Structure 1
């Protein structure tokens, strides 16, 4: 853990609620002079004599100016979010009032907080580790149930607990290896090598499970990009409207109506899907603007997590397209306009591998089956958010380093390297484990990048 930076010895203030007018606004103050600064402005009780976790109604007055009637929430250290003395002022939501309160508090000795500085102080004061601090930002930014549940589990220490178990087991054996080095002249062995090999195998398996979860975690955090691809007039815009259950895209019998991409979001079982309606794909077009739209469609298909390839079942168009061959594993074939074909035709396009679905976008039949197939393609079976799921790219990168160092330890054991070399590999692995949670000294530039992404006031 890092020592408390000198910049944390002052008192900071920020608006903690979103910008704009509202019923209420909250001003948050944290630091050693919090009670003295607010008490000098508060016309009511003597706040220095009040208990922690209490509310107090009164008026904020600066010189001869009454600024607002407020409710003061008191949180004495260390029982606060930051671990310092904290006061939250609930005022009326006028943008003018909030800004005026900020001006008065700064004039009275506080300074404006940097983005994420409240949470950064909570980290340095031991109120949370680095993974939990990052989860605060993820929780604020969550836009689906799955994202919220995953961030909440991490905020409560689920990921930290998993890492701590691995770290404690490694530390135990590292201590025994170090002890052997102290008695190297006596040729004694305190650490059971076979037991250690089993432990390394277990830790490797647990680490790989976390690494593998990142693909799902990325889907949960950022959503699933879904490109709707097909020939002109296949019904792509009609499908988009049917999925959203609203008239979002212009629908016309004229081929090439959609010239540019249209993006909308759809929530399926708590997972956010980002739908991209693209221009119709055909091999040749004399329209320059349409050709640009077609190229963009191909680019969207390449970058999408899922492709909905729409086929007009009333035509004899080919089901497979050469340029889409590399994307077969992420493609769902959607046979549209099934309301206009025979029952035999419906049976002929049924795909036993579960990678296709028959619908009528116009009649909105088969849409729920398509949504279920999209969900299965993105997530698999029912999502288990109680399991630890890695959603942070920084964590994923460090987990890859941990896996590499565990491989080095295992190879060293198999090659019967000396204890001093083995101890170096173990210490390296412990360093990476501590880097995720902030248990070791973390580079200030890394912390600046992490907390700089937070909103001011958090």
Structure 2
């Protein structure tokens, strides 16, 4: 692809609206804009200062397309590091297409997905991890994912990686220098300091790798499966959580025959609730398929809400319930399990006392009356490690970064083993170079066209 051409694209969502923004970037962006823009004050657009806005009309000879505002950003002080023009026109789809087609006739070409941000990366305005954070920021739909994307886009993650890479590179240079004086048997790199550096790098890499478990679910939403026997109030609970009639509720057992999913933001964290079919023995073919899907959703969930109809409980059934809960814990040991007793308005004081003494961390609520729903939301938040968010620590959400960090950690551990074992410097240097390679992959010091294509293909066209 040729990156010295001037590109154009719609920067706002497609469709009609009050205002639309058409963006151009490239060395001829200002010249092309000046050809089609008539200022109300008669100014020549090509002679105006950077970061200025001008009122006028877009014209093609005698034909007037629209009255617009044109913003000028001259290189290198623009998003892409090139000359950038943004045309704010009225939001008619007809006007948008007419102006874009005019600019194409004047020498622009349509931008590819993510090409504006790709040019920002190629021109050194962003490193690769910051560029990827732009896409995450655009797609963020809750406070937590927004905060993580902003922290990464400001360079928090890349600065941390770049600093470690620079320190490792300095020691690598000294190790390489030793190879040039191998016959003299001298050491330029202080082994004690090098060992301390490797320990510090290993600690940081492990912390970043561990943060991916939290970051990934925050970015994609935390899946929560609502399970239990038929007619215990699973759909009613989902409706109470969402505060809308999302799932059909009836007195007929087995009403929910397929999984129903919806999202809710609690305390800035996104949760994806999955209302499942009731678990029971059945000869109904359709219902049995729904029950099979229930177990599939439990496998995918991070949190399982096991709902119990407390109005059907007795001392004997409480003992049986304890056994059933233990079976779920044994089958899904890695999942957070919360046992919820529904219809608390029908409970006797004695039953409440028995539940609290027999079932640890049980939650009592009434989905129908929406009593105890706030307690449930607080409990769900407690399952998420938000301490890193509050402390503004770096959290990894990108699978590519996670993979590179794992590989870098493996190489660092090889270097540590070699250092402790006293292996020759030339062998240790190989592992150091490989660790530097994986660090460089994250920030973009090391890259290739295929990698860039995969990353920026996921962007929207105007960004």
Structure 1 position 247, deviation (Å): 2.1
**Any idea what SS the aligned residue of 1:378 has?**
coil
After TM superposition, give the deviation of residue 64 of structure 1 in Å: 2.4
The yes-or-no answer on 1:371 pairing with 2:385 is no
Following superposition, the deviation at residue 390 of structure 1 comes to 0.2
Instruction: Output the CA distance in 1 between the equivalents of 2:132 and 2:378.
Output: 32
1:422 maps to 428
The alignment yields a C-alpha RMSD, in angstroms, of: 1.5
Query: Which segment is superposed worse, 179-188 or 99-108?
Result: 179-188
Question: Does the residue aligned with 2:75 lie in a helix, a strand or coil?
Answer: coil
Match of 2:458 in 1: 453
Counterpart of 2:162? 164
The partner residue of 2:367 within 355, 361, 369 is 361
Note if 1:273 corresponds to 2:271: yes
Mapped pair 1:293 → 2:290? yes
Which residue pairs with 2:33 in the alignment?
Answer: 38
Which residue matches 2:123?
125
Separation in structure 1 between the aligned mates of residue 428 and residue 389 of structure 2, nearest angstrom: 40
What TM-score, normalized by structure 1, do the two folds share? Answer: 0.96
Q: Which moved more, 1:363-372 or 1:70-79?
A: 363-372
CA contact (8 A) 2:388 2:394 kept: no
Write the deviation string for residues 403-426 of structure 1: whole angstroms up to 9, x where unpaired: 100111011111111111111111
Q: CA offset at residue 347 of structure 1?
A: 2.2
For residues 275 and 35 of structure 1, what CA distance do their matches in structure 2 show? 50
From 290, 305, 310, the equivalent of 1:308 is 305
Mapping of residues 79-228 of structure 1, within 5 Å? 79-228=77-226
Please, which runs of 5 or more residues in structure 2 have no aligned partner?
none
Question: 3-state DSSP class of the match of 1:189?
Answer: coil
Distance 2:388 2:32 in 1: 52
Q: What SS is found at the alignment partner of 1:7?
A: coil
Change (3 A) 1:129 1:355: farther
Alignment of 1:443 onto 2:448: yes
Q: Which runs of 5+ in 1 are unaligned?
A: 1-5
8 Å Cα contact 1:146/1:385 also seen in 2: no
**CA distance in structure 2 between the aligned counterparts of 1:380 and 1:42, rounded to whole angstroms:** 51
Distance 1:296 1:120 in 2: 41
Equivalent residues, number = 451
Is the Cα contact below 8 Å between 1:259 and 1:293 reproduced in 2? yes
CA contact (8 A) 1:350 1:358 kept: no
**CA drift at 1:359:** 1.1
Conserved? CA contact 1:351–1:357, under 8 Å = no
Q: CA deviation at 1:342?
A: 1.0
Distance 1:351 1:174, change over 3 A: farther
Deviation at 1:246, TM superposition (A): 2.0
User: TM-score scaled to structure 2, two decimals?
Assistant: 0.95
Task: Tell me the distance in 2 between the aligned counterparts of 1:247 and 1:144.
Answer: 22
2:7 corresponding residue in structure 1: 12
